[in-house]
Structure 1
Amino acid sequence: MANGTDYYAVLGVSSNATADEVKKQYRRLAKQYHPDANQNDPKAAERFKEISEAYNVIGDAEKRKQYDDMRRLGAFGGVGGFSQGGARSSSRPGGFGGTGPGQAGAGTFTDFDVGGIGGLGDLFSSMFGGGAARGRNKGPERGQTVEQTVEVPFRVAATGGKVPVEIEVNEECAMCHGSGAAPGAQLKPCGECGGRGVISFGQGSFAVNRPCPVCMGRGSVPSERCPACRGTGEARVRRKVLITVPAGAESGHKVRLRGQGGKGASGGQAGDLVITFDVLPDRFYKRDGLDLIATVPINVAQATLGSRISVRTLDGKKVALRIPAGTSAGKRFKISGQGVEKDGKKGDMLVEVTITVPDTLNEAQEKAMRDFAEASGLKY
């Protein structure tokens, strides 16, 4: 991608966009600019490549965090000595200042450490898939870490259980095994980066290496692209995973499943799956810490004279509850030990009564109410 292009701008989302918003926008753009749907428009293929590269970073939680760190340091805008118009070099191995690989050139990013976050070259390397290491001697790469929000029914979150989740991850293309080449295609050195797999860009005495956007860091380009992945070396696949919801889980609770994310490339370790729970509301229960609040309607006669009602607990059992005479709306009654259990502690169920008034009365009911009103000295 061009020097310092903002990946958020490429996808048309704000830097505060959620993972779901980014994914939704990527799908929309990928469908719009996919080469198969735009065979007579060569610019669409370039746009599709830009969109895919942007989502490869913004769509990955760890890469996005690193990328955001770089943006704050000004590596993608006018701050910190970089700008959209910064010079780029693909011919000098050490970037600007005439330094070679491994040399401590004047202010090269590969040797520049900021505030304990490590070398900025390392950040770029990890963000874009390993920099020069992605070249002709590509080593194992860790798979994509996937973050996803999952809706969980209230009662499953309260008592614990399992929910199925469908995730979408980038995995190494099964046809070309990540090379991007069609079966039998020949590989030749990339003309953009001279076969190095990286290009350098920057301004003044600063420069940073990043994977070549033409060969995608491989250092070579195929005579014919893989028809399955169109030369990207990756495939977008959907996979179903069964997630265990611990008892007492609340909205915002996260679980990390090691090795359940994207498949690693070249024998690398699989990424993780990070799930954030979004607990759905229940029509009967509400939650206050470990306590459950259940709203139960009673009529005027029950509230006035007292009554015995039946209340269903979270585990489906019925518990008898005595409503005393003269109960007012909003009164709460506690059923001990029938709340949410978590970490060895268990809350209570709080039954809150509401008083319902009938819309219509039959003749006998109306007479009884009038007699009651007159006996009470009420005027109506």
Structure 2
Amino acid sequence: MSTKDYLEKDYYKVLGVPKDAPAADIKKAYRKLARQYHPDANKGDAAAEEKFKEISEAYDVLSDDKRRKEYDEARSLFGGGFRGNNPAGGFPFDLGDLLGNTGGGAGGLGDILGGIFNRGRTGTTQTTPGRRGADVETEATITFMQSIDGVTIPLRMTSEHPCRACAGTGAKTGTTPRVCPNCSGTGQVSRNQGGFAFSEPCRECKGRGLVVDEPCPTCHGSGRAASTRTLQARIPSGVRDGMRIRLKGKGAPGERGGPAGDLYVVVHVRPHRIFGRDGDNLTVTVPVTYPEAVLGADIKVPVLGGMPVTVKLPAGSANGRTLRVRGKGAPRKDATRGDLLVTFEVAVPTKLSEAASAALEKYRDATADHDVRGELLEAAKGEG
């Protein structure tokens, strides 16, 4: 259950029992309401179903002694919870800001309530959490063969790192930063509002905890400077064109001890002159002669990065027939490989010798009674 639930929902009111009700009364009230609003007794009634969920949620909290105690402590701390955008007798507020749900990190009410709802996790509260470094994206172009076998490539990256001139302090050489007198070096200050104390980044030092009187001329006091580095990136085997590879922790470095971001490499694969790709399968087109297609033949087929294999082309194979060679495709994640899809195309010669022309003429005369287009023309006369 979220912190917001503890603050906004009155589970005693949901079950219709007083706050000091014993466990037996809570159980009795729950059973009565559960029978009344159970979905089986109210089929098709969305309101009853929602009420049943609310009743079950309330009972889950109040029937557990530990959770009930935490719930009572929270509501006691905030006078029974917040109502709308103006708590009774209080000031206008945004509940999302109070709960720390604006994405800004530490400092929200969720941190204040951590001791109530997250007991046993930690004994201290981190006042200046480290900030994770930014993610970085780059591109790399590899060959078709490298995409199949995998390759390690160098990547030249430019990003922000601690300034070498001042070793990341932001202070001019020969000087040192001083502890911020406003926040005593914590980087956080407390702000009182409506009887509550909230932590926020110190405006004097911008959350660093240090003040630079004489800024470094290289980084102008930021402690960061652009630097170029070369790293080795491993592109896994079987990668496809346009695939995005994530290299964890290879992005921009973090701040205040925070982890580095990630590096994303968008891979571009140069097309191969002979082979193509269809998912985990490789494709290749192999020319054959007309007699080989008609009579059948053993055809040598190229394999990417290996010796050719022999494929038996059955007699009477039509132009464009595709056969499969198992295990000669791209590698998969489970260490198996796809297949090689071989498409056979009849190569029509542009020049013939006299003997070849005479042989084809004899073949034509011998098959003159076989009309290959007769069925097509006859079908065209019909209605479809």
Please tell me the residue identity of whatever aligns with 2:309.
Answer: V
Q: What is the CA distance between 1:170 and its match in structure 2?
A: 1.9
Does residue 244 of structure 2 align to residue 244 of structure 1?
A: no
Q: TM-score, with normalisation over the residues of structure 2?
A: 0.50
CA spacing shift, 1:320–1:299, aligned 2, 3 Å: same
Q: 1:283 aligns with which of 267, 273, 298?
A: 273
SS of 1:303's equivalent in the other structure is: helix
Q: What is the CA distance between 1:352 and its match in structure 2?
A: 0.7
Please tell me the residue identity of whatever aligns with 1:353.
Answer: F
Identity %: 32
**Counterparts of 1:139 and 1:334, CA distance in 2:** 57
Contact between 2:288 and 2:347, CA under 8 Å: does it hold in 1?
Answer: yes
CA spacing shift, 1:211–1:364, aligned 2, 3 Å: farther
Does residue 105 of structure 2 align to residue 122 of structure 1?
A: yes
Q: What is the CA distance between 1:308 and its match in structure 2?
A: 3.3
**Counterparts of 1:364 and 1:355, CA distance in 2:** 20
Between Structure 1 and Structure 2, how many residues are aligned?
250
Q: 1:107 aligns with which of 94, 100, 114?
A: 94
Q: What is the CA distance between 1:332 and its match in structure 2?
A: 1.0
The aligned counterpart of 2:284 is 294
Matches within 5 A, 1:1-380: 106-107=93-94, 110-113=97-100, 118-122=101-105, 140-184=130-174, 218=208, 225-251=215-241, 253-342=243-332, 343-361=334-352, 365-377=356-368
**Structure 1 unpaired stretches of 5+:** 1-103, 126-136, 199-207
CA spacing shift, 1:120–1:164, aligned 2, 3 Å: closer
SS of 1:347's equivalent in the other structure is: coil
CA spacing shift, 1:108–1:323, aligned 2, 3 Å: closer
Deviates more, 1:172-181 or 1:296-305: 296-305
Q: CA RMSD in A?
A: 4.6
Q: What is the CA distance between 1:331 and its match in structure 2?
A: 0.3
CA spacing shift, 1:275–1:290, aligned 2, 3 Å: same
* Greater RCO, 1 or 2 (C-alpha within 8 Å, sep 6+): 1
CA spacing shift, 1:138–1:304, aligned 2, 3 Å: same
**Counterparts of 1:182 and 1:174, CA distance in 2:** 11
Contact between 2:285 and 2:345, CA under 8 Å: does it hold in 1?
Answer: yes
Contact between 2:169 and 2:177, CA under 8 Å: does it hold in 1?
Answer: no
SS of 1:292's equivalent in the other structure is: strand
SS of 2:306's equivalent in the other structure is: coil
Contact between 1:173 and 1:235, CA under 8 Å: does it hold in 2?
Answer: yes
Contact between 1:109 and 1:121, CA under 8 Å: does it hold in 2?
Answer: no
Write the deviation string for residues 3-45 of structure 1: whole angstroms up to 9, x where unpaired. Answer: xxxxxxxxxxxxxxxxxxxxxxxxxxxxxxxxxxxxxxxxxxx
Q: What is the CA distance between 1:231 and its match in structure 2?
A: 4.4
CA spacing shift, 1:354–1:109, aligned 2, 3 Å: same
Q: What is the CA distance between 1:224 and its match in structure 2?
A: 5.6
CA spacing shift, 1:364–1:168, aligned 2, 3 Å: farther
Q: What is the CA distance between 1:309 and its match in structure 2?
A: 2.7
**Counterparts of 1:364 and 1:232, CA distance in 2:** 86
Q: What is the CA distance between 1:255 and its match in structure 2?
A: 4.5
SS of 2:311's equivalent in the other structure is: strand
Please tell me the residue identity of whatever aligns with 1:348.
Answer: D
Write the deviation string for residues 141-163 of structure 1: whole angstroms up to 9, x where unpaired. Answer: 44333233444433333333433
**Counterparts of 1:232 and 1:363, CA distance in 2:** 86
The aligned counterpart of 2:27 is none
Q: Which has the larger radius of gyration?
A: 2
Contact between 1:143 and 1:263, CA under 8 Å: does it hold in 2?
Answer: yes
**Counterparts of 2:221 and 2:329, CA distance in 1:** 56
**Counterparts of 2:214 and 2:349, CA distance in 1:** 77
**Counterparts of 2:341 and 2:151, CA distance in 1:** 24
CA spacing shift, 1:306–1:238, aligned 2, 3 Å: farther
Contact between 2:128 and 2:187, CA under 8 Å: does it hold in 1?
Answer: no
Write the deviation string for residues 86-116 of structure 1: whole angstroms up to 9, x where unpaired. Answer: xxxxxxxxxxxxxxxxxx9833975254xxx
Please tell me the residue identity of whatever aligns with 2:264.
Answer: V
Deviates more, 1:219-228 or 1:347-356: 219-228
Contact between 1:143 and 1:171, CA under 8 Å: does it hold in 2?
Answer: no
**Counterparts of 1:369 and 1:210, CA distance in 2:** 90
CA spacing shift, 1:331–1:124, aligned 2, 3 Å: farther
Contact between 2:246 and 2:264, CA under 8 Å: does it hold in 1?
Answer: yes
Contact between 1:144 and 1:169, CA under 8 Å: does it hold in 2?
Answer: no
